[in-house]
Amino acid sequence: MTDKKQINMSINDGSEFFAHELSINFNPTQFILDFKCITPRNDVRSKNAPLITLKHNVVLLEPHHAKRIHELLGNILGRYEEQFGKIDVPKAVKKWEKNREKLAKGKSAEAKTKAPSYLG
């Protein structure tokens, strides 16, 4: 007769998170993935400036885990494109980038890479 041990397990599912932006940084021992969700909130009853809500979900990875995620994501993207076709930059983004380049002519490198404003 074998002794069977029972284990009770509780899974705490996090809430869904849509990331508008991602910052990736590193130090000698880890990679830091900072997923950001930026949500402008306008209250027509308020005379104050618009409110912008910024949420962060940060993931810390050891370098070998970051390398493995890179490999896995490349594999998954390849399989996706085999099944559904090439992933291309949306036309609206291409248009925005083209307009950004026109506006940034003669300006500093910082002005050329400035992200769109979430203030409207």
pTM of this prediction?
0.63
Residue 106, sorted as left (phi over 0), alpha (psi -120 to 50) or beta, turns out to be left
Mean pLDDT, the chain, integer: 84
Per-residue pLDDT of 21-64, as tens digits, reads 889 999 999 999 999 988 887 777 777 777 788 888 999 999 99
Q: Which residue has the tokens 């910024």?
A: 54
Q: What percentage of the chain has pLDDT greater than the value 70? A: 85
For residues 35 and 103, which has the higher predicted lDDT (pLDDT)? 35
pLDDT of residue 111: 56
The beta strands (E) that lie in the chain are given as 21-27, 30-41, 51-61
pLDDT at 3: 77
Strand partners, 57: 35
Q: Are strands 30-41 and 21-27 parallel, antiparallel or unpaired?
A: antiparallel
Q: How confident is the model at residue 118 (pLDDT cuts 50, 70, 90)?
A: very low
The pLDDT value given to residue 69: 96
